[in-house]
Structure 1
Amino acid sequence: MTRYSGITALVTGASKGLGEAYARELARRGARLVLVARSGDALRRVADSVREEYGAEVTTEVADLAAPDGVSRLVAALDRRDIAIDLLVNNAGAGAVGPFLGSPQNRHIDSVELNIVALTRLSHALGGKMVARSSGGIINVASTAAFQAMPYLATYAATKAYVLSFTEALAEEFRGSGVRVMAAHPGPTTTSFFEGTTAALKPAFTDRPETVAARTLDAFAEGAVNAYPGRTGLRAITWATRILPRTTTTRVSGRLNRALGLDRAHDIGAPVPEPS
């Protein structure tokens, strides 16, 4: 898949942030869209805007992919509408911010359900259809956090490590099938990831979602298995984590996150965690 014009692309988490940016960039390149998100109002707003700006054909599906039957209900809806997906963009993701014990257990479990379980289910359900047609592609949105353990983002980074390993394995399994699989590893991006928490990143240190989306699609068209759509220095950091001992990278990551105040981060209105 080197061109996007005329394909049907499904984007999860499409109601805001990076998912919305993927939707807009795919529409700009001529794709038909199936946009999926949990928030119906926000999803319809994005769909209407994309239709108006690009004249794109857009279908929306409201779905809670973290729910046990979320993916199966979505796939059934696609089958009822006789929609075949050419490109799956597994973008939906979530993560608890701050000390592990500072967030309720369900926040961590929800992250695992969405970032790992739903992504795996969708890749299996739609990937199987693609392989049967000998055509298609899957982009799994991971993160530069996938390359090392990250204290104060412990669950999130661990789920993204799964996405990295899973994607590289699928890319090899599907080689020669007509279906390509790629992981995208953005760094800090201007999205709502920290929304509702006391944590924040300075805009000067974040990438624009529009830039990340465009670079991701360029890399996929070029045949990459891993894409690094953020600023250049972040890719160098991922190389370093493959060379240095994991204990070293974990300690360095912990120091950096403490410097960012993530050891004190918590949901707005929740008790302030004790320093560790």
Structure 2
Amino acid sequence: MEYTGKTALITGASSGIGVAYADGFAARGSNLILVARRKDRLEALATRLKKQYSVEVEVVPHDLTAPDAVAKLEKEIAKKKLSVDVLINNAGFGLNGFFVKEDRSKTQEEITLNIGVLVDLTAAFLPAMVQRNSGVVVNIASTASFQPVPGMAVYGATKAFVRSFTEALWGELGESKVRVLAVSPGSTESEFFVVAGGSPAGKAMPASAVVETTFSALEKNVPSVVVGGSNAFAAGLVRFFPKKAVIKLVGKMFLPKEK
């Protein structure tokens, strides 16, 4: 696929996987629209990318959990007369703890960002891609999408939605040249567990691995991909074990030690 001269909109672009995607697309000659809440980080990233790759970078500080956030972002992009050729729905977060103890407002933000915003952004930019018969939508799911996750019950459920939704869109597009892909990383070097609390299960892989897996999967035009061979093996293996055993095993990894 050709990315030179295309414009990629990346949400959650101020850290971790978002930064890695920004580097990945800039290195391939794509111009960027970087969206996140932290303006200072976005501007620092934009300055580096412009200098390093000689691409155009638009910084759009935006809280995507705010009311009408997607509509406002869409208007701002239209005002700048930008066309989105690639959409990377990376923004999202999880909470690690017992559901009954979670802050209800934070839980609603989690659902809004992980599901509502992702779906609305896809609805905003996918139709024009289909009309042009060209474009890419990448939605970040998780290995948490393959089984229930006690200790991260809402997060796992939102990512199961993301993977199912994205795979269904892939099926709807048929012979279109528009690529839609769900990417399921495992533990990745990022700020995820700083926000979620708790700690990752196993060694975290570099964010660059998520990006390289994405580009490879887009070339193959598959509906979804798991990042890392061991993660892919584990994701497939859970189908062959009793559900009760899987839930208990995952709970041992993610449930807090004290109730």
Name the TM tier (shorter chain).
over 0.9
Determine the C-alpha separation between the residues in 1 that align with 2:78 and 2:169: 24
Determine the C-alpha separation between the residues in 2 that align with 1:206 and 1:219: 21
Mark the runs of 5 or more structure 2 residues left unpaired by the alignment.
Answer: none
Aligned in 2, Cα 1:188/1:148: closer, same or farther, shift over 3 Å?
same
Q: Which residue of 1 aligns with 2:224?
A: 226
3-state SS of 1:195 partner: helix
Q: Which residue of 2 aligns with 1:89?
A: 88
Give the structure-1-normalised TM-score: 0.89
1:78, CA displacement in angstroms?
A: 1.2
Q: Which residue of 2 aligns with 1:237?
A: 234
Q: Is the 8 A contact 1:151 1:250 kept in 2?
A: yes
Residues 219-265 of structure 1: CA deviation (Å, up to 9, x unaligned)? 21221211222x311101111223334333222211232xxxx414x
1:50, CA displacement in angstroms?
A: 1.1
Give matches, 1:101-250, under 5 Å: 101-196=100-195, 198-201=197-200, 205-229=203-227, 231-250=228-247
Determine the C-alpha separation between the residues in 2 that align with 1:188 and 1:45: 26
Q: Which amino acid aligns with 2:161?
A: Y
Give the structure-2-normalised TM-score: 0.95
Determine the C-alpha separation between the residues in 1 that align with 2:196 and 2:88: 27
Show structure 1 runs of 4+ deviating over 4 A. Answer: none
Residue 263 of structure 1 pairs with residue 259 of structure 2: no
User: What is the count of residue pairs matched by the alignment?
Assistant: 259
Determine the C-alpha separation between the residues in 2 that align with 1:128 and 1:197: 34
1:101, CA displacement in angstroms?
A: 2.4
Q: Is the 8 A contact 1:22 1:214 kept in 2?
A: no
Mark the runs of 5 or more structure 1 residues left unpaired by the alignment.
Answer: 265-273
The alignment yields a C-alpha RMSD, in angstroms, of: 1.6
Q: Is the 8 A contact 1:3 1:221 kept in 2?
A: no
Q: Which residue of 1 aligns with 2:6?
A: 7
Q: Percent of aligned pairs with the same residue?
A: 37
Q: Which amino acid aligns with 1:233?
A: S
Q: Which amino acid aligns with 1:15?
A: S
Q: Is the 8 A contact 2:94 2:196 kept in 1?
A: no
Q: Is the 8 A contact 2:198 2:256 kept in 1?
A: no
Q: Is the 8 A contact 1:35 1:58 kept in 2?
A: yes
Q: Is the 8 A contact 2:93 2:196 kept in 1?
A: no
Q: Which residue of 2 aligns with 1:270?
A: none
3-state SS of 1:187 partner: coil
| Higher alpha-carbon deviation: 26-35 or 215-224 | 215-224
